[in-house]
Structure 1
């Protein structure tokens, strides 16, 4: 028996042990598999989805969000007021074409990059009172501060 056959045989014997089969089944069933898949998805997205860097500060009257978006055109930016957050999205769709008749080649590449960032705020965003400007690669969003209304809910006996 060759070394490879011995290793394969040992591995099969190892997985055929009842305890090892139970452990293997445990990690490939229902809730545990779902949890492992969600953890994998989180790390995959975190590693491969670019995020938009932002600075968040407040003045006497406004909350200001500054997003650094170098090389992005104004038309590629979308700002959505959510209930208690502002979502900044960028769809960067580049088309590169090169042609060189002396070397007889033609190249056409398309690159699509999507970035987004949701900035939570401690109040409901009023879209009609929120303003945005974009200059020199810096997106500035200003939304008026609102008073935080604290309320409590009484518990019935």
Structure 2
């Protein structure tokens, strides 16, 4: 639709009317009172142990290797499990606070203590049987030699 020179954008009342339905037009001021909503029933909270913590990882490649790094500060290497099968890497373990005393009253609790796990599909083909893993200064580093892909050979047409 073409606009005339004197046409302005919809004024506020016209704009409001454009979004009203027939019921809105027949309302009286007392109809504007909104009954407070009832409080929703509380949802069942998942148990703390239902979801293991998620382990953050960095994944990158060099010319020869695929490298995965995970921050695992405070985890003993005996409490870590690293496995790979058909290009799927799983890192799991337990982070213990080392303090087995019962706290009477928490003021702040931001640190995660307990089981964690991370499973990821590797982004490229690697030599799984030649993997190396090291835990140093709280960083788990896993490296895999990359599988060298043969370049496509050009076939000359005769």
TM-score of the pair, normalised by structure 1: 0.50
Larger relative helix fraction: 1
Aligned-pair distance for 1:145? Answer: 1.0
- Counterpart of 1:80 (choices 71, 80, 83) is 83
Alpha carbons 1:85, 1:124 under 8 Å: kept? no
Deviation at 1:97, TM superposition (A): 4.8
Q: How many residues align?
A: 96
Which structure shows the bigger proportion of residues in strand conformation?
1
Pairwise CA RMSD of aligned residues? 3.5
In structure 2, what is the Cα distance between the partners aligned to 1:83 and 1:124? Answer: 9
- Residue 82 (structure 2) pairs with residue 116 (structure 1): no
Q: Secondary structure at the match of 1:122?
A: coil
**Local SS of the residue matching 2:78:** helix
Inter-CA distance 148–87: structure 2 relative to 1 (3 Å threshold): farther
Q: TM-score, normalised by structure 2?
A: 0.50
Q: Partners in 2 of 1:63 and 1:114 — Cα distance?
A: 26
**SS class of match (1:128):** helix
Larger Rg: 2
